[in-house]
Amino acid sequence: MNIQKLKNIVNEIDGGVVKPVYLFQGDDQFLQQLVVNKIETTMSRERDCEKIILEPDEMSGSEIIGSLYHTDLFSSQKFFILRNPQKMKGNSQNELYKYLENPIESNCLIIFFGMYDQKKVIVKELLKRFVPVNVGSPRESNMGIWVNYFLKEKSIKADSKFVNEFISIAGDSLYHLANEIDKIAILLQDGEELTLDHIKQFSGWKRKYKLWNFLFALGNRNLQKAIKTGYSLISQNDTLVSLLYPIMSLLQEMLFQKISSGTFSKFRGYIPLSNTVKKKIPYFSKQYSRQEIENALLLLGKIDERIKTTKVSDESELIQFIFNVISK
C-alpha cells in the first residue's frame, strides 16, 4: 500500500493548500496533533474556521453525516476531525462514501485510523478512494530528520553534533523531542547561538518541586524558574487541569489586590493557596499590571476550554502560558 510522506503534506499545507479530505494512518498522537494544528492554522488565515470533532462513540452515524452537510448563515469554514471511522454503523458508512465523492470544497475533513485497521470494511473502502498519510511513530533512525524539522520551525541553526545530542537526550519520542526544543527556543535570545550547554541545561528536569515553588516563580515573574518548576510538577504526574485552579486563584487574588488599591485585606473563605503564597500576594500583584493579570485569566479560560474539547499537550500549553504571562 502506498503511503504519502507527511513532510510533503505539511509543506503543502504550510504553503496555503488545504484539501477537502485527508486520510491519516497511524497512532502517534503528537503527529496527529501536528497535522490538526497545521490545517487549522492555514484555514484560519483568511476567514473564521470552526473545528468540529466527530466521535462515533458519542454520536450516531446520522449525526455525523448531518454535521458534514450542515451549513450556516455566516458561511464559515468547517474543519472536521473523524477518528475510528470503523465504528460508524449501517447506512451511515454508505452516506460517508457519498460525501467523500463530492465533499464541500471550502471545508476540510480529516479521518484518522490505526495501523492495524486495514482489514475493516470501511477502511478498505477509504483506501480505494484516498492514499493515506502516515502518522505512525517514526523509527529511531529517522529521528534526526525530526530534530532538524523542529529546529527549523523555531529558527534555530544547529550542526550535526547538536542533532545527535538532542537524540541522545530526548529521542525516545517526538513528543519529548519537541518539548526539549520548545524549552530552548523560548529561552534563547534573538540571534543567540545554540550551544551544548543550552541543551544540557534545560534537559531532564529531575529535581522535584512543590506547587508553591511554581507559584512563587510565577508571581515573581521569573521565567526560567517558572518553566523549570512547572515542568517538574507535570513530570511528577500532576496534570495541567490540577494546576489551573491554584493558578487561577493566585491571579484572582492578585487582581483583587489591584482593585483594592493595594490595601491588604483578610482572605474571603477558602482559597487553595498555602499561607506562604498568600502572604506574598501583595508583592506579586506589584509585579504585574491589572491588564496583564486580566489577560492571564483569559488565557487560562481558553486553556481550560481546549483541554475539555481537544487533545492537547499539558507541557506545551503550560510553557506557552508561562511565556505569554511573564514575558514583557
What per-residue confidence (pLDDT) applies to 190?
72
DSSP line for 293-308: HHHHHHHHHHHHHHHH
Cα–Cα distance measured from residue 307 to residue 298, given in angstroms and rounded to the nearest whole number: 14
* The three grid cell numbers given for residue 216, joined into one nine-digit string: 512563587
Q: Which fold has domain 6-134?
A: Rossmann fold (3.40.50)
What per-residue confidence (pLDDT) applies to 123?
86
- 309 strand-pairing partners: none
pLDDT, one tens digit per residue, over 282-324 is 999 999 999 999 999 999 988 988 887 777 788 888 988 998 8
Cα–Cα distance measured from residue 134 to residue 137, given in angstroms and rounded to the nearest whole number: 9
Cα–Cα distance measured from residue 71 to residue 77, given in angstroms and rounded to the nearest whole number: 9
* The three grid cell numbers given for residue 324, joined into one nine-digit string: 505569554
211-326 architecture in CATH? Answer: Up-down Bundle (1.20)
- Phi then psi for residue 51, to 5 deg, are -95, 130
Cα–Cα distance measured from residue 136 to residue 139, given in angstroms and rounded to the nearest whole number: 9
What per-residue confidence (pLDDT) applies to 208?
59
Which segments in the chain show pLDDT lower than 70?
Answer: 1-4, 73-75, 172, 200-208, 236-238, 261-272, 328
The answer for residues whose C-beta is within 8 angstroms of residue 132's C-beta and 6 or more apart is 1, 3, 4, 23, 24, 25, 126
Q: 6-134 and 211-326 share one CATH topology?
A: no
Asked if residue 140 lies in contact with residue 171, where contact means CB atoms within 8 angstroms, the answer is yes
The pTM is what? 0.59
Asked if residue 77 lies in contact with residue 50, where contact means CB atoms within 8 angstroms, the answer is yes
What per-residue confidence (pLDDT) applies to 159?
76
Helices and strands in the chain: count of H runs, count of E runs:
15, 5
- Phi then psi for residue 216, to 5 deg, are -60, -45
What residues does each domain of the chain span? 6-134, 140-179+192-200, 211-326
Report which of 56, 62, 105 is spatially closest to residue 81, judged by C-alpha positions.
56
The answer for residues whose C-beta is within 8 angstroms of residue 91's C-beta and 6 or more apart is 61
pLDDT, one tens digit per residue, over 170-204 is 776 787 788 888 878 877 777 777 877 777 666 65
What per-residue confidence (pLDDT) applies to 269?
45
